[in-house]
Amino acid sequence: MSDPQPILELRNLYAGYGETEILHDINMFVGSHEVVAIIGPNGAGKSTAIKAILGLLNIRGGEILLDSTPITNTPPEVAVTKGISYVPQTHNVFVNLTVQENLEMGAWTMRAGIEERIEKMYALFPDLRDKRRQAAGSLSGGQRQMVAMAKALMVDSKVLLLDEPTAGLSPKYRGEIFETIQKINATGVPIFIVEQNAKQALGIADRGYVLVDGSNRFTGTGAELLADREVARMFLGGRD
Amino acid sequence: MWASFGFEFVNFYLIPGLVLGCIYALGAIGITLTFGILRFANFAHGEVMMTGAYLTWTISTLAGLWLGWSLHPLIAAVPAIFAAIGILILIDRYFYKPFRNAPTIMVVMASFGMMLVVRSTVQFIWGPNQLTFVKGIDKPNEAVRQFTADLDLMILVPNKHFWIMAGTVIIMLCFTYLLERTRIGKAMRAVSDSPDLARVTGIDVEAVVRATWVVGGFCAVAAGVFLAMDIQFLETTMGFRMLLPMFAAAILGGIGRPFGAVFGGLIIGLAEELSAYPWIGDAPLISPGYKTGVAFTIMIIMLIVRPSGLFKGRTF
Amino acid sequence: MDQLLGLFLYFLSLLTVGGIFALLALGLNVQWGFAGLFNVGIAGFAAVGAYTYALLTTDTSPFHLGGLGLPLVVGVVAAMLLSGVIAGIIGVICIRLRADYLAIATIGIAEIIKLFLKNQTELTNGPRGINKIPRTWEHFTEERFYTSAPMSWISDATGWQAFFDALPRWWWQPMFAMTILLIIVGVYILLERARLSPWGRMMTAIRENEDASQAAGKDVTRRRIEAFVLGAVIMGMAGAFFAQHLRLIDPTNTFDPAKMTFLVWVMLIAGGSGNNRGAILGAFLIWTIWSGSELVINSSIEIIANYQDMFDVGVLRTRAGYLRMLLIGILLQFILQRYPSGILPESRPAAIGKQ
């Protein structure tokens, strides 16, 4: 179950914005077929961990490896070419572009095969096909998340990073998103997901990390963490 | 009926208003693109318009002197456009790019300074006096006059106004095609939407920036040449005089909305010209000396009432 | 001896005009350095101050409103008040605008002011401007002043004429320069007091962290308008003294934003924005450079003229002014990129050059 060669690894990572340090000695990895969840209280540094991978912050110590190649402090536009697909929490679609155009933008770094890719995305997200000429901003929250994910997957993703994909969505859409995430994973894309919605996230995750105050606190398989007393007490009680 | 009201209104107010509107519209496109994609108000834009017009004049004069050619301004404008775009890209590289990640105020100040640098350079090279762009009075187009006279109307449109309006329409069509159908055009819309998202999507933002200067520069030079064709002379302050109405047009249409800017430009052009019409009684509604204040007033009202503009552009 | 006198008078003129610009820079510093307001309409406020002063103190004239012959001090105070009132009106409307928008709005307002001054010809003599503006100290030599109180109490017209004939013709220049310098000192002291006062500290807090200040219940908008008005009042005063210095003003050339607004900004940035001492230093420094560059460029042109025939020197001479502007513009770019905090950086983080 645990691969010898993780696709993405954070080792002894210290990172933050400017002078402030937010992440202290973080260690995490994602195996090549896994769904890995990061959960934790607000301000724990979950989104920061994702942004660090993308080179959006100041990395003071440690390293980040993609397929065993260091990518620490690589700027985002380069990270994308290396196969890191990222869906931010907010502003994750081009609201004034149509669904189709959003996907085309997602494929900016591709030379050829764009049409086939778009077809594959419509196959994976059937709802979007009908709406492809609609402005992305006019879609519902859940549909927008689909567009955001499809756009991110246009390139040959080595790993997909999702930052709180179900934030602000109704329960129905939340369920759909988690199903979609599993579908994407089934096509062979490893997924690293940050979630406030701990219970459902752990429910689909192979493994999880619990971050508190910028440091690793717990780790284990999805099932283990769901069953853990302390984790349950901290995050799972009364949620969802 | 036509003789008393329509003739004067259409020929001396409406058509000039449309022509002025076209000029403002083209200039405003560059302003709104820079505002939307590069996120700052480019004070030097008017000077680029003016420089484009001066370069066109120089090329056509030199062509006449050295080669004995008599070039139509629109032909002489082509090399001028290349030169202006080159200048814009150089200005960006050395004076704006250093501030890409700095607070906006820095690049706005730099652009204010560039406005004066460009203007002073032109004044130094060409002198501050007026230069004649096109000699003589442009007579109304005979075909149109005949045609409309037969219909009991009379529309007098000098040829230069035809060129300006037709040119604007053609440029707008090409521009629409660029934004809606080409890869780089869609990328420009994407970056205008959200530069951060564009970065993490892998879009080459610097390529989009260059495209912005190319398109904006093209439209600016076209606007400058059209203006010179219209007023038939060149003057080093013509760029600055256009700047406020162009900003007003961009804000009216909605920042980052190129078609809004075009619409805004037409409205402002018409408003300026029509404000001098004697709507009530015999005197102009607004004294012609205050014409240029019309654009500014419209802009202030927009900024207070609906800062996102008519077409819901960006509010900062 | 004459040369020394010439040098002395030139030095006085540098102090005088540099001083007037120092006042403008101090006013701008209140708006920008204290409150972070990007005002590109400085020339407009100066014009309001200058015209108010001129219209209230000049003699009767068929061309413009005049003949009020009010005491010069009243003229200056009125200039300050009107400038402040206009700033207040603008402030209420525009103060919440983001930096670029405020810049565009203030440029627009300066344009409207200029249009008003150009068009209301009965009031202002339109584009031709107003001349014979009384200059402090020198105004004593004007007949209408020495034939009326209080000068008439001391001597009669002939007495005064003889007195003034005996003085060197430049006698008033050092007095005028001193007056300006004294005013600068006074304004500086007041502004330093204001900066260190609770009001000033609140302004700094708002400038550095607006959201926190607002959450703490501070009326950010009100404070900003206050700063805007205060800055404009100082600019109005500077405008009045500028009118006195020139004695002839017109709406288009005297208050050309390219020269006035732009130069003041270069002065503030070069000297150190957010910093009253920086404003004064920057003003004198940049004005000296501006004025000095005229000499340097003109001499260079003469040298070129002596050594070759290719360039038309007459043309170069008339265009030298543009070369100066070009060089100052490049200087600004250089300062913005290399030394954005200026020569005298503020002891607290300046509004410019800091993320």
Is C336 inside a domain boundary? yes
Q: Which residues contact A229 (CB under 8 A, 6 or more apart)?
A: none
**What is the per-residue pLDDT for C131?**
85
Measured CA to CA, the distance from residue C100 to residue B189 in angstroms comes to 21
| Res. B137: pLDDT tops 80 | no
The end-to-end CA distance of chain C, in Å, is 54
- Collapsing DSSP to helix, strand or coil, A16 comes out as strand
Same domain, C351 and C231: no
Same domain, C310 and C192: no
**Alpha-carbon gap: C290 to the closest alpha carbon of chain B (Å):** 15
- Contacts B203 to A, Cβ<8 Å: 77, 105, 108
What pLDDT digit, counting tens, does each position of C64-80 carry? Answer: 777 676 788 888 999 99
- Contacts A108 to B, Cβ<8 Å: 183, 187, 201-204
User: Closest Cα partner for C21 from C134, C256, C247, C180?
Assistant: C180
Q: Indicate yes or no: CB of A106 within 8 angstroms of CB of B193.
A: no
Q: Indicate yes or no: CB of B244 within 8 angstroms of CB of C104.
A: yes
**What is the per-residue pLDDT for A236?**
61
Chains in contact with A via at least 3 Cβ–Cβ pairs below 8 Å: B
- Contacts C266 to B, Cβ<8 Å: 113
Specify whether the CB–CB gap between A179 and A213 falls below 8 A: no
Whats the size of chain C, residue-wise?
355
Q: Indicate yes or no: CB of B244 within 8 angstroms of CB of C107.
A: yes
Tokens of A2: 């645990």
**Alpha-carbon gap: B179 to the closest alpha carbon of chain A (Å):** 11
- Contacts B292 to C, Cβ<8 Å: 111, 115
Predicted confidence band at A4 (pLDDT cuts at 50, 70, 90)? low
- Contacts C329 to B, Cβ<8 Å: 113-114, 116-117, 120
**Alpha-carbon gap: B246 to the closest alpha carbon of chain C (Å):** 11
Q: Indicate yes or no: CB of B304 within 8 angstroms of CB of C108.
A: no
Helix (H) or strand (E) holding B234: strand B233-234
| Res. B107: pLDDT tops 70 | yes
Q: Indicate yes or no: CB of A108 within 8 angstroms of CB of B204.
A: yes
Q: Indicate yes or no: CB of B296 within 8 angstroms of CB of C112.
A: yes
Is C269 inside a domain boundary? yes
What pLDDT digit, counting tens, does each position of B22-43 carry? Answer: 999 999 999 999 998 998 989 9
Q: What is the mean pLDDT of residues B222-250?
A: 92
**What is the per-residue pLDDT for C87?**
94
Same domain, C237 and C320: no
Measured CA to CA, the distance from residue A89 to residue A94 in angstroms comes to 13
Q: Indicate yes or no: CB of B114 within 8 angstroms of CB of C265.
A: no
**What is the per-residue pLDDT for A46?**
86
- B-chain residue closest to A81, CA distance: B202
Q: Is B287 on the interface with C (CB under 8 A)?
A: yes
- Contacts A104 to B, Cβ<8 Å: 183, 186
**What is the per-residue pLDDT for B209?**
94
Is C238 inside a domain boundary? yes
Which of the two residues, B50 and C153, has the higher pLDDT score? Answer: B50
What is the C-alpha R_g of chain A? 17
**Cα A113–A114–A120 angle (5° rounding)?**
95
Q: Indicate yes or no: CB of C336 within 8 angstroms of CB of B113.
A: yes
How many Cβ atoms sit within 10 Å of the Cβ of residue C72? 20
Specify whether the CB–CB gap between C66 and C47 falls below 8 A: no
Q: What angle, rounded to 10 degrees, do the helices at C2-29 and C276-307 form?
A: 140
What pLDDT digit, counting tens, does each position of C227-269 carry? Answer: 999 999 999 999 999 999 999 998 988 888 888 999 999 999 9
**What is the per-residue pLDDT for B140?**
80
Chain A contacts in chain B segment 180-199 (CB below 8 A)? 183, 186-187, 189-190, 192-194, 196-199
Give start and end residues of each alpha helix (H) in C137-272.
143-146, 151-154, 157-166, 172-196, 198-208, 210-215, 220-246, 260-271
Tell me the sheet residues that pair with A87: A162
**Alpha-carbon gap: B248 to the closest alpha carbon of chain A (Å):** 23
Contacts 24+ apart (CB under 8 A), C186-189: C187/C23, C187/C26, C187/C234, C188/C26, C188/C276, C188/C277, C188/C280
Asked whether the CA dihedral C93, C52, B240, C42 is positive or negative, the reply is: negative
Same domain, C221 and C280: no
Which of the two residues, A5 and B2, has the higher pLDDT score? Answer: A5
Predicted confidence band at A238 (pLDDT cuts at 50, 70, 90)? very low
CB pairs under 8 A between A and B: 60
Specify whether the CB–CB gap between A229 and A57 falls below 8 A: no
Measured CA to CA, the distance from residue A193 to residue A203 in angstroms comes to 12
- Collapsing DSSP to helix, strand or coil, A170 comes out as coil
E strand residue ranges, chain A: 8-16, 23-30, 35-39, 58-66, 69-70, 84-87, 159-163, 191-194, 207-212, 215-221
Same domain, C93 and C213: yes
Chain B contacts in chain C segment 65-94 (CB below 8 A)? 93-94
Is C10 inside a domain boundary? no
Is C171 inside a domain boundary? yes
Q: What percent of chain B has pLDDT over 70?
A: 98
Q: What is the mean pLDDT of residues C145-164?
A: 76
Tokens of A203: 């429910």
Q: What are the structural domains of chain B? A: 2-305 (1.10.3470)
**Mean pLDDT (chain A, rounded):** 86
Specify whether the CB–CB gap between C324 and C294 falls below 8 A: yes
Q: Which residues contact B40 (CB under 8 A, 6 or more apart)?
A: B34, B104, B107, B108, B111, C100
Q: What is the mean pLDDT of residues A226-236?
A: 75
Which of the two residues, B170 and B284, has the higher pLDDT score? Answer: B170
Same domain, C117 and C149: yes
Specify whether the CB–CB gap between A58 and A13 falls below 8 A: no
Is C8 inside a domain boundary? no
User: Closest Cα partner for A156 from A105, A50, A85, A104?
Assistant: A85
Predicted confidence band at C288 (pLDDT cuts at 50, 70, 90)? very high
How many Cβ atoms sit within 10 Å of the Cβ of residue C103? 25
- In this structure, of A16-20, B100-104, B247-251, C278-282, the range with the lowest mean pLDDT score is A16-20
**What is the per-residue pLDDT for A221?**
84
- Transcribe B207-226 into DSSP letters: HHHHHHHHHHHHHHHHHHHH
Same domain, C49 and C141: yes
- Collapsing DSSP to helix, strand or coil, C210 comes out as helix
Q: Going by DSSP bridges, is the β-strand pair A191-194/A159-163 parallel, antiparallel, or unpaired?
A: parallel
Q: What angle, rounded to 10 degrees, do the helices at C99-119 and B104-126 form?
A: 40
Same domain, C228 and C297: no
**Alpha-carbon gap: B199 to the closest alpha carbon of chain A (Å):** 5
Is C284 inside a domain boundary? yes
- Transcribe C42-84 into DSSP letters: HHHHHHHHHHHHHHHHSPP-SSBS------HHHHHHHHHHHHH
Same domain, C66 and C140: yes
- The DSSP 8-state label assigned to residue A234 in this structure reads I
Q: Is C108 on the interface with B (CB under 8 A)?
A: yes
Q: Which of B116, B243, B290 sits opposite C119 (nearest CB)?
A: B290
Q: Produce one character per residue of C20-34: b if its CB has 16 or more CB atoms within 10 Å, e if not.
A: bbbbbbbbbbbbbbb
**Alpha-carbon gap: C73 to the closest alpha carbon of chain B (Å):** 33
Q: Which of B98, B117, B293 sits opposite C337 (nearest CB)?
A: B98
Q: Indicate yes or no: CB of A80 within 8 angstroms of CB of B183.
A: no
Q: Indicate yes or no: CB of B196 within 8 angstroms of CB of A91.
A: yes
Q: Is B316 on the interface with C (CB under 8 A)?
A: yes
Measured CA to CA, the distance from residue B258 to residue B269 in angstroms comes to 16
- Collapsing DSSP to helix, strand or coil, C352 comes out as coil
| Res. C196: pLDDT tops 70 | yes
**Which of A77, A84, A90, A110 to probe by mutation at the B interface, max B CB count within 10 Å?**
A77
Domain boundaries, chain A: 8-83+157-236, 99-154
Q: Is C252 on the interface with B (CB under 8 A)?
A: no
Fold of the domain spanning A8-83+157-236 = Rossmann fold (3.40.50)
Domain boundary among C217, C251, C285: C251
pTM: 0.87
Query: Residue C262 sits in which domain range?
Result: 258-355
**What is the per-residue pLDDT for B78?**
92
Q: Indicate yes or no: CB of A92 within 8 angstroms of CB of B197.
A: yes
Q: Going by DSSP bridges, is the β-strand pair A207-212/A215-221 parallel, antiparallel, or unpaired?
A: antiparallel
The residue type of B148 is T
Q: Which of C94, C105, C265 sits opposite B109 (nearest CB)?
A: C265
Q: Indicate yes or no: CB of A96 within 8 angstroms of CB of B193.
A: yes
Burial group, residue A237, by CB count within 10 angstroms (0-12, 13-18, 19+): exposed
Tell me the sheet residues that pair with C205: none
What pLDDT digit, counting tens, does each position of A14-71 carry? Answer: 888 877 888 888 899 998 889 999 988 877 788 888 888 888 888 888 889 998 888 8
Measured CA to CA, the distance from residue B138 to residue B158 in angstroms comes to 6
Q: Is C352 on the interface with B (CB under 8 A)?
A: yes
How many Cβ atoms sit within 10 Å of the Cβ of residue C167? 10
Domain boundary among C225, C251, C277: C251
Asked whether the CA dihedral B196, B197, B200, B206 is positive or negative, the reply is: negative
Complex-level ipTM: 0.87
CB pairs under 8 A between B and C: 113
Domain count, chain C: 2
Measured CA to CA, the distance from residue A193 to residue B160 in angstroms comes to 62
How many Cβ atoms sit within 10 Å of the Cβ of residue A174? 19
Q: Which of C40, C326, C333 sits opposite B124 (nearest CB)?
A: C326
Q: Is C323 on the interface with B (CB under 8 A)?
A: yes
What pLDDT digit, counting tens, does each position of C102-113 carry? Answer: 888 999 899 999
Asked whether the CA dihedral C133, C137, C138, C139 is positive or negative, the reply is: positive
Asked whether the CA dihedral C206, C208, C213, C215 is positive or negative, the reply is: positive
Q: Indicate yes or no: CB of B296 within 8 angstroms of CB of C108.
A: yes
- In this structure, of A7-21, A125-139, A220-234, C26-40, the range with the lowest mean pLDDT score is A220-234
- Transcribe A59-74 into DSSP letters: EEEEEEEETTEE-TT-
Measured CA to CA, the distance from residue A101 to residue A124 in angstroms comes to 17
**Cα C178–C179–C185 angle (5° rounding)?**
85
